[in-house]
Every structure is written in structure tokens, then in C-alpha cells.
Structure 1
Amino acid sequence: MPTPTIAALASGFGWHVTDLLRAAELLGVRLEVAPFPEVSARVGGGPARVGAGKIDLTGLDGVLVRMMPPGTLEQVVFRMDALHRVAAAGVPVWNPPRAIEAAVDKYLTLATLDQHGIAVPATWVGQSAEDALRAFEELGGDVVIKPLFGSEGRGILRVSDREIAWRSVHALERLGAVLYLQRFVRHPGHDVRAFVLRGRVLAAMRRSATGGEWRTNVSLGGRAEPARLDRAADRLALAAAQAIGAEVAGVDLVEDLDRDELVVLEVNAVPGWKALSAVTKVDAAAAILEALRDQAR
């Protein structure tokens, strides 16, 4: 049987790419690292092709989107178009383009989850600073302002003062940013990241804020420890991943103490696993490549 070949679309050789290369050698999989900025396509005048450098993505056994680097609107749209074309050629793409599109946009993520009856925090999204200030009051005067795109807790601000809210939303309006305000969820000081792979929770970790920081992200100094999900949390994580169509996802769950319910904060369709593997001892890289290899067969 020929050695399966999978491409990891990335923007460099960081820790995750190195871990995937290790796992690929362990599994007997050939892993090609394909830089996202080198993605190109050809249509007409011969066979259609989507490639990255010298790698023909439409001729592989699978494509794993490891990182979606920043870019202009045109670049991002083209990259997604290219992924759609690779998937249409019959190559398994993880995550599927539709799932990445749904998860990269925080509003679309929450709207999709809400449409499927999944509990999410009260959130307002718009373009007017004056409308945002009214939403600030309606959301209880204690909100988290987030960028529409972004991850790892970067660029988010908790605001409970109206004057600071006024300055923040007007500054964002001047920048032409979409205004995203979410009611601050009073929680027990921790949340849970569930790592979902093909319809099961592969592993989970509890992330606790430290040093007076309200954000729990490990990248911002949060403390991580293994977590065992109860049946309700497990079902919620799986439902969230299924709602956006993700084969692999990082689902963030938090207990809303004011409403006495578990809610989904975000779904990451390009999730990292460095902290998760460290605390749970689960080889996430090997599990992902093995599952993708098996689907290709």
C-alpha cells in the first residue's frame, strides 16, 4: 500500500507543525508542509489545479488546515475559494471550508450555534458606536468587547465603565471595525476547552485565570489541568462542533453562574493542542493525522 501523503497548510514551522511532523513519522504518513501564502490555482488551458509551491493539493490524500495567516480580504477569500476547490476534487480537507468560515467569524459562530438551540452568551454586533452604547446598557453595563476575528484572547477588553465604553466603541468605529459586545459571563474562575475529533471528545482541560487576570487563556498565563466532562458538557461540545460542521474543533465551555447553565463561548476550527497535550498526555497530533488518513482510505 502506498504511503499516504497529507499536506499541512501553515504559515511557518512552529511548534504545532513540528509536532505534526513527529506524529507523521510515527504513523508512517508523509506530511508536506504547504505555506498558505504560496497557494495558487489554475483554471482552463489544461487540468484544473490548486497548489502551494510545488505541492499539488488536489492530488493528495488529505489536507489539514493548521493555520490561517492574516491577509487582505481578497487574500482570505481566495484562500477559502482554493480550499473549496480542493474539497470539490474529492480530497478530505480538515476542517472543511464551511466550518472554517463559520468558526473564524465570531458572530457567524454564535448565530449558527443559536440557530441549533445551543446556549451562548447574550451578544450584540453592529457598526454604530451609538448603537453599541445602547447595547452596552442593555447587556447590563459589564461587557467584553472582542474583535470579530481573532483567537487566544488577543484584542479583547472587559468594560464596565460607560466612559471607557464610549471611548472604546468610538475608537473602533473610527477604525471601521465591526463592534462586538458580549455580556460578561460571571463564572467560577475557570472554563473548559474540549478538543473534539470526529464526533468524540478526544481530551479536555480546565483553564483557570491567574494573577488577577479575568481571561483564562493559557497563552495569557492561565493555568491548565486535565478535565473530565460530565455527560451534559460532553454533549454540548459535540453539538457545537457538529453545528459548524467541524471534524476537529476546540470548544470553549463556561458555567454561567447568573443563569445556572453551561454556555459555549467560542468554537475554534483551527485549534492548538500544545497545552492540552501537555496536561492530558494525549497525542493530539497523532490522533488527528490518523483520523484524516483513515478517512482518505
Structure 2
Amino acid sequence: MNSENKIIVGRDEWCSFPEINIPAVKCRVDSGAKTSALHATNITPFKKNGIPWIKFDVHPLQNDGKTTISCEAKVHDKRKVKSSSGNSELRFVIKTTLSIAEETWDVELTLTNRDNMGYRMLLGRQAMTGKMLVDPESYCLLGQPTDDLLKQHYHSKVVKKTGLKIGLLASNPNLYSNRRIIEAGEEKGHEVEFLNIKDCYIKLDGKNPEMHYRGGRILSDFDAIIPRIRPSATFYGCALTRHFEAMGVYCLNSASSITKSRDKLFALQLLINSGLPIPISGFANSPLDTEELINMVGGAPLIVKLLEGTQGKGVVLAETKKAAESLINAFKSLKANILVQEFIKEANGEDIRCFVVNGKIIASMKRTAAPGEFRANIHMGGIASLVKITKEEKKVALLATKTMGLKVAGVDIIRGEKGPLLLEVNSSPGLEGIEGISERNIAGTMIEAIEKDLKFIK
């Protein structure tokens, strides 16, 4: 200590927090920051004897996500803190004992994810006031632990990996399908994390491509990604999936296959090139071709489909030629891309959904349209029931999935007079209806597909 009984420290030093069982952590000494911050993940509030507490995990060593200290502390406060990037974040604050240079005193620590920072701990001026003087040209003036000493401190704190780390790339964590996939993965001993599409962003770098997440966290330790991308997020979701692939992360459905399946016109062109039967369909750009377009699909009644529609939205039945002309011209005046498709009357408002995983049909269900509807859509009051599919329908479903290059797909088929006709191949099929009807653990089958492709041995 100097004459003023203050500790002289460099720009970074090693310290410890004995009350929360952290024996050594390297901190950045920053007099420009008011508050101190400790790297923490899995922050979970709870109550002990009616008093607010929190549980949290700390990875005390930089670039080491396996060494983990599980901590508990009483909540001291919760406050907004502005980060170095200028963003404000609401953080839990704890009060605990800091130990440095054989001196100890109480400090306030905010808890936040510092994965993208150079240090797991930042020591701000509030904790230093009256205790320290900083020599910014020096570092580790108080010494630093050897690798052997760190191993002694932390040898029992290394969490051994027992399963895969899987990311579920989607938009709604509360959706039945997403909850089931997370549940199924965890039941099989894997760590499954929901990754919200809107919170991911990309670093394009030929030598070191990175995927960043909310708050600057770098997503670098995933074994697999399950993309479940809603149609409105197709462009960005596929860009993220493509980037994970570039980083060497296995993706259950590739960005290329999802993109192909979402472009309805391109998908139909690929499907007929594989010899698959579809309802006769027409596509044109000019309103001058409306009458010819109607005639080429056999006239009215006919179906008009928005190429960007999903789950039955943007699908309209035109029962007369005049209605068809009005509808087609109205869509074209809005510069909307549409398909005109023959109406298969003998289908009687029914279709079949085949759920395919890794080249096998796991379950099939028949969907019957609600009264007054022509679309077999359970989201619009339709009824679902089990169905036994024919060999020809099975062949169509498997070839359609293979043509799209999908590992997981929902294939929609209708039964025409001359055999099955393929309607659509869905790259993010819902699980709720088909799991309920079939009583099959389809989410678990999807996890097993990942295990098989990654040659994971339990």
C-alpha cells in the first residue's frame, strides 16, 4: 500500500469473491465505468424466506465455457445500466465481498453476459473509490495465478458435456411445436436453447465468421441448429441458417432447402421436374393473359394462391369465370404474385399431411375442411384424423421431400380421380395436430435424426 493506504493496481488484476465461491477471476480495472459487472448466465430469481434471491452461473475463465461456478446471492437492487456500446440494460445487482491484495471490502456487482468482452469481470470506480490508485501503463501488479493453481481452484468445477448443444432457431418460444422440441431434446440429455431469429446478427469474416446474439454474445459452441422459420422471416432466417452452416454447424434443414420450399412457383417447377403429379397450375404476369390463364387450368371453379401465403392464408376459391377474372386482375393490380390452380372437386375438402423425418414417413393424418370451407385447414376449424396412406402416396411424399432436400417436412397431398396430387412441401411443419392424432413422439424423432447424422453415441 502507498502512504495513503491505497492499493496501486494496473489496468487488469486478479481478484476473488469468497462469499459466492469464486476463488480467482481476472478483472478489467476501469475508472471510466461507474458500476462493476460480473459475467453471469442462467440468471434465475427466486425467494428464500420471502426475500428475493437469484441463482446464476459464472464462467470465471475467459474463453472457457466448461468451467462453471453455480452461485446464489441476495438481490440488492435491480437497475438500468448503460453498456460501453451505449445500450441500456436492466440488471440484477448483488452486494458481496471483494478480495484483492489480502484486503477485503463489500462491493456492488451488476450481473450480465460478458461473453463478447475481453474480461469476465469489470471493476468500476464505485468499487475502487478510497481503496485503489490505478497505473494504466501496468498490468497484474499484484501478481497472477499459475495455470496449475487455476487447475487446483477449478478442477472440480469443469462441467463435463454429456449431450449435444442444440439451438432452436425460431420466432415464438411459446409455440407448441417449439416447446415440444426443447422438451424432447432435454429428455434425451441434450442442452436445447431457443434462439430468437430477430435477436441474431452476423459477422461476415472470411477467416473468422461469427454469429452474435442479443447483448453481444457469440454463439460459438452449438453442435446443431433446428431452423423453424416462419414465412415472414424466410429471408433473414435463411441468411442466419446459411451462416451457421458456413461456421460448420449442422442444420437439420439447410437454408437452400428451406428457400426452395418457400418459393411456391420454384418448388412446383422442381417437383414436376422430378416427375411428381401436381394440380394443373398457371402463372402469368400480365392482366392481358387472364382469360387464357383461366382456360389452361380447366376453367372455373379454380383456386387462386398468393405465392407468399401460408397456412391457408392467401388461398381463394373462384367459383365462376367472372369471379376468377375479377380476383386475378385485383391481385395483379396490387402487383401480387399468384398461382392459378385447378380445383380438385373430388377431394371433397380433404387433404393428407405426411410428416417426413430423415427419409421416413413418421405419421400421416387426414384433414377435413370445416363446413362452408373448401380448405382442409385445422387452423380454420378443420378436423384431423388418422389415415392409412397408399404406396403411391408414400412414394410421392418421400420423393417430394428428397427433391426439396429437406430432412424434416410436412408434405400435403390430395386424392384425385387419377391418383395422388402434390399440393405443397412445408419446411417447418407444426407438431400439435399430428402428435395429438398419431400419439407419436415426433419431436423426439427429430432429435434422434440429429443424433444419427452427428453419429452421437449416448
TM-score computed with the length of structure 2 as normaliser: 0.60
Hey, what does 2:204 align to over in structure 1? Answer: 43
Hey, what does 1:264 align to over in structure 2? Answer: 422
AA in 1 matched with 2:420:
L
Task: Supply the distance in 1 between the matched residues of 2:290 and 2:386 (Cα, whole angstroms).
Answer: 38
User: Whose Rg is larger?
Assistant: 2
1:78 shift after superposition:
4.3
Hey, what does 1:207 align to over in structure 2? Answer: 367
The Cα RMSD (Å) is 1.9
1:295 shift after superposition:
1.8
**Which structure 2 residues correspond to residues 60-209 of structure 1 after superposition, within 5 A?**
60-68=222-230, 70-71=232-233, 76-141=234-299, 142-189=301-348, 190-209=350-369
1:196 shift after superposition:
0.3
1:290 shift after superposition:
2.2
Task: Supply the distance in 1 between the matched residues of 2:424 and 2:206 (Cα, whole angstroms).
Answer: 43
AA in 2 matched with 1:232:
E
Task: Supply the distance in 1 between the matched residues of 2:217 and 2:195 (Cα, whole angstroms).
Answer: 7
**Which structure 2 residues correspond to residues 1-80 of structure 1 after superposition, within 5 A?**
1-13=161-173, 14-44=175-205, 47-53=208-214, 56-57=218-219, 59-68=221-230, 70-71=232-233, 76-80=234-238
Q: 3-state SS of the aligned residue for 2:307?
A: coil
Q: 3-state SS of the aligned residue for 2:371?
A: coil
8 Å contact 1:194–1:201 — kept in the other structure?
yes
8 Å contact 1:204–1:228 — kept in the other structure?
yes
Task: Supply the distance in 2 between the matched residues of 1:163 and 1:79 (Cα, whole angstroms).
Answer: 40
1:70 shift after superposition:
1.5
Task: Supply the distance in 1 between the matched residues of 2:284 and 2:217 (Cα, whole angstroms).
Answer: 41
Task: Supply the distance in 1 between the matched residues of 2:205 and 2:278 (Cα, whole angstroms).
Answer: 45
Deviates more, 1:99-108 or 1:182-191: 182-191
8 Å contact 1:11–1:69 — kept in the other structure?
no
Flag the 1:60–1:262 CA change in 2: closer, same or farther, 3 A: same
8 Å contact 1:132–1:179 — kept in the other structure?
no
1:77 shift after superposition:
3.6
How many residue pairs align between the two structures? 291
8 Å contact 1:132–1:169 — kept in the other structure?
yes
Q: Which runs of 5+ in 2 are unaligned?
A: 1-160
8 Å contact 2:210–2:247 — kept in the other structure?
no
1:55 shift after superposition:
5.8
**Which structure 2 residues correspond to residues 235-250 of structure 1 after superposition, within 5 A?**
235-250=395-410
Q: 3-state SS of the aligned residue for 1:215?
A: coil
AA in 2 matched with 1:250:
G
8 Å contact 1:128–1:179 — kept in the other structure?
no
AA in 2 matched with 1:223:
I
Percent of pairs with identical residues: 25
Hey, what does 1:295 align to over in structure 2? Answer: 453
1:58 shift after superposition:
5.2
Q: 3-state SS of the aligned residue for 2:291?
A: helix
Which structure has greater helix proportion? 1
8 Å contact 2:309–2:315 — kept in the other structure?
no
Which structure has greater strand proportion? 2
